[in-house]
Structure 1
Amino acid sequence: MSDDGVFRDNPDAKRYELEVEGGVAVMTYNFNPPNMMITETLVPEALEGRGLAGRLAAHVVADVQARELVLLPVCPYLSAWLKKHPEHADVVHPTYRGILGI
């Protein structure tokens, strides 16, 4: 495994994962096609402050877009990330775009 980590979608656990140095940062989801609701972001304390949540957010948004799904960001972290990256608004459900102001 490289220092960059390994991304994967783990549908059995309903989460995206980023494995780095034996730890796993995750974004949990509920999937009801075409909607992908991201509910929570968790980063192990030992890996905090290294930008893993942001990398995971970018990966998840890209995957949702590539799969032509609609993102429902109820996770506070992802909602804040999207406000900082409004260029990804097109993948977000219109109602959530209004709520987030993007």
Structure 2
Amino acid sequence: MGQFKDEPSENRFEQDFDSDGGHGRVWADYAVRGGARMILHVEAEQGLRGSGAAGRFMQSMAEYAREKGLRLFPRCSYAVLWHKRHPDYDDVLA
């Protein structure tokens, strides 16, 4: 699993993963709203789909937000559902 990165010039969080299907990236596009990052879209490259990489990415994003004092505002259906299933990260929600 690669290092979680914030690419502010692209309004994107991203992380690389290795799986049985090979190497790939998961990313989330966001919009900045004050101190919050509105999560607009989460996507995994084809070779990672079904591997659990997107869930591990979401956990990395929540831990990054907690560490940096950011708030996340999930808008895409995947991010909303992930946060509903992981109430232990409610403290990072906007």
Q: Percent identity?
A: 30
Superposition TM-score, scaled by structure 2 size: 0.84
Aligned length: 90
Larger fraction in strand? 2
TM superposition shift of 1:22 = 4.3
Q: TM-score of the superposition, structure 1-length normalised?
A: 0.78
* 2:10 aligned partner: 13
Aligned equivalents of 1:92, 1:41: Cα separation in 2: 16
- Rounded to whole Å, the distance in 2 between the matches of 1:90 and 1:6 is 22
Aligned residue number for residue 81 of structure 1: 82
In structure 1, stretches of 5+ residues that fail to align are 94-102
Larger Rg computed on CA atoms: 1
Residue type of the partner of 1:39? L
**Unmatched tracts of structure 2, length 5 or more:** none
Q: Specify which structure has the bigger relative contact order, considering alpha-carbon pairs within 8 angstroms and separated by 6 or more residues.
A: 2
